[in-house]
C-alpha cells in the first residue's frame, strides 16, 4: 500500500539529527523528558459504508425490479471491493462476490471496470433453516418479526443450493457494473433486472424478487465479510441476510475502517513564548513548515527553530525506534526524542500526515505545558492535545489518493498553491480520529 513512499524518502535524502541547542545554564529544577510518538493506525478496511437509497429515490428502501443502488468510492492498486445485499425472498441468502472481494486493478495497475456480474454469487449465511423461496413464513416479507426462523443445522456460509427448485438464474435477477469517472475513483452499480413475477412458487403464484439495503468495504486483506465454509463472524451478517438490516454490520465495518497513513520525520521545540512553529489563522512564515507538511522534509524548519530567541532547545526526529536509518513511521512503530526543560517551558512538534497534501499533527500553537501549576512535571498520554493541522500551502485532494500528495507526486512542492492560513483541517474530506492514528506519550525518568 505504501510502495509509493519510496519517492518521499528519495526526495528527502538522509536526514541528520540536528544538534540540540540548549540554554547555557540550567536551573536546579531542570527535568529530563522523553517523548514517544507512535503510529497506532490499524484499520482493516480503507473505507466502508451502507447503500440503502435507490437511484432517484428520496429515502432508503428496497431495490425493486427496475431500480439500482450506486456506491462511489476511491481505491488504489492492491485494493479490492466487497459488498453484500439480501435476497429478500429467502430466509438468509445474500448476493456478494467471493470472500476475497472484487479485484479493482490488474497486475499492471490498470483499472478493472465493466460488467462484473459473473463474479457475483448467491450465498447462504447458514444462520436460518431454508424454506421455499417466496412462501416461507419466516422470510422477511412474511415473518412476524426479525430473527424468527429456526436455526440452520449447517452453520457455515456457503454457496446456495436450491433445494426447492424455483430459483431463477442470478444473471436474470441482478446486473453489477463498475465504472471509473476519474483516476482511482469507482462507481459500483447494482441493478435489479428481474422481470416482475419471475419467482414462481409451488402454490402457482408469482412473486417479485427485491434486494435489501446492504454494505460495502474497500480493503487489501481477504475475507472482510465472511469466510466460505466457516460460520458467520457474528458481526451483523445474520441481520442483513435474514432481515435486510445492514446497520449492525455497517457499524462493525466502520469501526475497522479508516485511512492508514505513515508519518514523516518531524521537528520538536522546547520554548517559552507561544507559536514557535506557526500562528493559527496566519499564513505559513516561510521558515520550512511548508516543506515539512507537503513533502515530509523537516530539515529547514529544524534549523530555523534552533535560531529563535524564545526556543530553549530544538531538534529533528527522523529514525523510528529500532531502525538503522531515517525513514517513515509506519503503523506499529514509533519515533522517540528527549530533552531537558524547566517550569514555564512548553513543547511543540510537527510530523506530516503523509497521505495528504499539506497536513501535519501537532499541539496548538501555545504548545504542551511541561509542568503543572504546582511545578510537577507532566507525565502520560497527551494525545488529546494533538490536532490535525492544515498548513494552508497546497490545495487539498482526496486523502490517500491525490496525485500531488507525497507518495504519488513527481517531486516536492508539486501541488496547486492554496495561499491560505494554518488552521485545523476542515476541508470536507474524511479523516480518521486522531486517537485512532497517533499516540503521544511523555515520560520522566
For each successive 10 residues of the chain (445 residues), what is the average pLDDT?
A: 45 39 51 98 94 97 97 94 97 97 94 97 97 93 89 96 87 97 94 94 93 97 91 96 97 94 98 97 97 98 94 97 96 98 98 98 97 96 98 96 92 92 96 96 96
Give the pLDDT confidence score for residue 244 in this predicted structure: 97
| Cβ proximity of 115 and 175 under 8 Å | yes
SS3 378: coil
Cα 13 to Cα 230: distance, rounded to the nearest angstrom: 49
HEC readout, 257-326: ECCCCCECCEEEEEECCCCCCCCCCCCCCCCCHHHHHHHCCCHHHHHHHHCCCCEEEEEEECCCCCCCCC
Q: Quick one: how far is CA 327 from the chain centroid?
A: 22
Length of the chain: 445
Question: Hey, what domains does the chain have and what are their CATH numbers?
Answer: 5-42+259-443 (2.60.40.2130), 46-255 (no CATH)
Give the pLDDT confidence score for residue 283 in this predicted structure: 98
Output b/e per residue, 366-391; b: 16+ Cβ within 10 A: ebbbbbeeeeebbeeebbebbebbbb
Cα 105 to Cα 75: distance, rounded to the nearest angstrom: 9
Give the pLDDT confidence score for residue 7 in this predicted structure: 43
Model confidence, pTM: 0.84
Number of neighbours of residue 270 by Cβ within 10 angstroms = 27
Amino acid at each position: 500500500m505504501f510502495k509509493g513512499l519510496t519517492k518521499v524518502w528519495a526526495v528527502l535524502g538522509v536526514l541528520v539529527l540536528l544538534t540540540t541547542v540548549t540554554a547555557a545554564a540550567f536551573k536546579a529544577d531542570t527535568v529530563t523528558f522523553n517523548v514517544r510518538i507512535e503510529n497506532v493506525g490499524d484499520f482493516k478496511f480503507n473505507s466502508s459504508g451502507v447503500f440503502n437509497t435507490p437511484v432517484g429515490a428520496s429515502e432508503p428502501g428496497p431495490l425493486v425490479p427496475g431500480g439500482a443502488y450506486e456506491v462511489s468510492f476511491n481505491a488504489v492498486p492492491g485494493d479490492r471491493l466487497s459488498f453484500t445485499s439480501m435476497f429478500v425472498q429467502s430466509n438468509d441468502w445474500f448476493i456478494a462476490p467471493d470472500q476475497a472481494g472484487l479485484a479493482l486493478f490488474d497486475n499492471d495497475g490498470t483499472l478493472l471496470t465493466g460488467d462484473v456480474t459473473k463474479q457475483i454469487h448467491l450465498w447462504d449465511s447458514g444462520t436460518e433453516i431454508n424454506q421455499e423461496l417466496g412462501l416461507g413464513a419466516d422470510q422477511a416479507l412474511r415473518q412476524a418479526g426479525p430473527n424468527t426462523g429456526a436455526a440452520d443445522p449447517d452453520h457455515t456460509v456457503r454457496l446456495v443450493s436450491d433445494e426447492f427448485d424455483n430459483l431463477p438464474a442470478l444473471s436474470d435477477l441482478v446486473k453489477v457494473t463498475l465504472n471509473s469517472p476519474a483516476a482511482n475513483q469507482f462507481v459500483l452499480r447494482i441493478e435489479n433486472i428481474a422481470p416482475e413475477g419471475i419467482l414462481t412458487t409451488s402454490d402457482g403464484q408469482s412473486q417479485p424478487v427485491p434486494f435489501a439495503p446492504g454494505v460495502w468495504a474497500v480493503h487489501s486483506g481477504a475475507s472482510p465479510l465472511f469466510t466460505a465454509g466457516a460460520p458467520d463472524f457474528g458481526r451483523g451478517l445474520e441481520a442483513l441476510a435474514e432481515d435486510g438490516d445492514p446497520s449492525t454490520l455497517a457499524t462493525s465495518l466502520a469501526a475497522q475502517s479508516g485511512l492508514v497513513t505513515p508519518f514523516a520525520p518531524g521537528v520538536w521545540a522546547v520554548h517559552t513564548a507561544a507559536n514557535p512553529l506557526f500562528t493559527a489563522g496566519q499564513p505559513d512564515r516561510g521558515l520550512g513548515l511548508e516543506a515539512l507538511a507537503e513533502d515530509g522534509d523537516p530539515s529547514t524548519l529544524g534549523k530555523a527553530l534552533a535560531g529563535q530567541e524564545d526556543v530553549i532547545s530544538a531538534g529533528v526526529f527522523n529514525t523510528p525506534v529500532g531502525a538503522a536509518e531515517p525513514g517513515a513511521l509506519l503503523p506499529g512503530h514509533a519515533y522517540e526524542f528527549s530533552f531537558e526543560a524547566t517550569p514555564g517551558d512548553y513543547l511543540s512538534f510537527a510530523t506530516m500526515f503523509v497521505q495528504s497534501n499539506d497536513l501535519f499533527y501537532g499541539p496548538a500553537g501555545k504548545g504542551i505545558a511541561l509542568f503543572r501549576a504546582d511545578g510537577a512535571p507532566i507525565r502520560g498520554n497527551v494525545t488529546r492535545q494533538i490536532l490535525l493541522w492544515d498548513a494552508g500551502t497546497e490545495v487539498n485532494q482526496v486523502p490517500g489518493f491525490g496525485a500531488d500528495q507525497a507518495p504519488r507526486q513527481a517531486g516536492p512542492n508539486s501541488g496547486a498553491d492554496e495561499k491560505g492560513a494554518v488552521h485545523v483541517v476542515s476541508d470536507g474530506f474524511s479523516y480518521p480520529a486522531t486517537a485512532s492514528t497517533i499516540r503521544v506519550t511523555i515520560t520522566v525518568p
